[in-house]
Amino acid sequence: MRGARHKRMHSLTLTRLASPAAIRDAALLPHIDRLVRRTLDSWSPSSRVLLLDQAKKITFELTVKQLVSFDPGEWTESLRREYLLLIEGFFSIPFPSFLSFTTYGRALKARKKVEAALKEVIRKRKQERATTARREGEDEKKKEDMLEELMEGGEEEEGMTEEEMVDFLLALLVAGYETTSTIMTLAVKYLSDHPRALALLRVEQDGIRARKKDEEEPLTWSDYKSMPFTQCVINETLRVANIISGVFRRAMTDIHFKGYKIPKGCKVFISFRAVHLDPDYFEDARMFNPWRWQNNEVVQQVGGAGIYTPFGGGSRMCPGYELARVVISIFLHHLVTRFSWEEAEKDRLVFFPTTRTLKGYPINVWRRRKEGSESEQLGTIPVNLSSSSSSSSSSSML
């Protein structure tokens, strides 16, 4: 997708799904809160869960709601089953399509079913738009979901075909499903490996929950903005995990770089992982140390110089960066304020072909006891831990 179409779709995604204003002013934030609580409420008081699967369930249901306004139910669960088969085919061997028993063959069949389900939604929406009389000023009414925006079209171009709408909806589904859920899972894994970081994050989140009337009161935008250490944990998880290892770009002109010439037209792979784990930019670069982000000088240095780029940069920067942070923050809030957990079995982090845990990170969870605080259970945890005093004691080699 290029030119005016790309600019419109990027802008549309940002304003509809990911801008701070859309999250803050629309009903998106309380909806995220409901989805997270709904998933956690389904856990038994003492049970074993595959955390990655649960995180993916949250991100899938959230994305479907924003795209086509379907709440969790039989339709979304049926769509999710086919979508999982589709995702499995992304990194499989592309055998001939008539070999339907292969992973790739099953993915192709699943893709057709997902496409058919979305096309049915599109056709029903078109019928509703055709039969519903337009009220005066309806064009000024805020659109309810992404599909409605796509059907409206832009002034500078013709409307999208059904196939183009399906492709775009699927692209957003893929973008929001796999990456955010993996970050959610790995943040919990890193916190499990670093008890002092977990304790400090829990103190922060317990303080926010203590201001609420009860456990069911949803988080607000101001609550989200009151989680400085949680954001440090998310920053560090993004840096060391590198969910997106890099991106390809095409040289638009001859480029001379450190004695090398990159001819016009060549494709260049920009490795985020190589930069994020470079000790020239990050002290003890392979250590998980969320306290490094409490140093404003570090934040300004790596941010302003384009060194820290977990969401890419430039005109093709991921438009969902703020939404991803909100989802992870709300998930961590409800998890640490309501549950304690331990690893059910050792799991290993791998980075090829994608960043993930091999076993989906199985954990044993149980409801937290109301009496006593986390500080009382783990010992006194100073809230203002400096990066210099904590990095050696609370970081491990990745």
Q: Are 215 and 338 in contact (CB under 8 A)?
A: yes
**232 among annotated binding-site residues:** no
How many angstroms separate the CA atoms of 223 and 204, rounded? 11
CB of 368 closer than 8 Å to CB of 227: no
C-alpha span between 103 and 90 (Å, rounded): 9
Contact (CB, 8 A) for 333 and 231? no
Per the CB < 8 A criterion, the answer to whether 248 and 268 are in contact is yes
Tokens of 27: 């009903």
Spatial distance between the Cα atoms of 30 and 219, rounded to a whole number of angstroms: 7
- Token readout for 234 is 């998310």
Q: Which amino acid, one-letter code, is at 291?
A: W
State the virtual CA torsion across 73, 75, 81, 86 in degrees, nearest 10. -130
For residues 261 and 258, what is the distance between their CA atoms, to the nearest angstrom? 8
Please give the Cα distance from 322 to 290 (Å, whole number).
Answer: 19
Give binding residues for heme as ranges. Answer: 318
Which residue ranges are tagged as binding site? 318
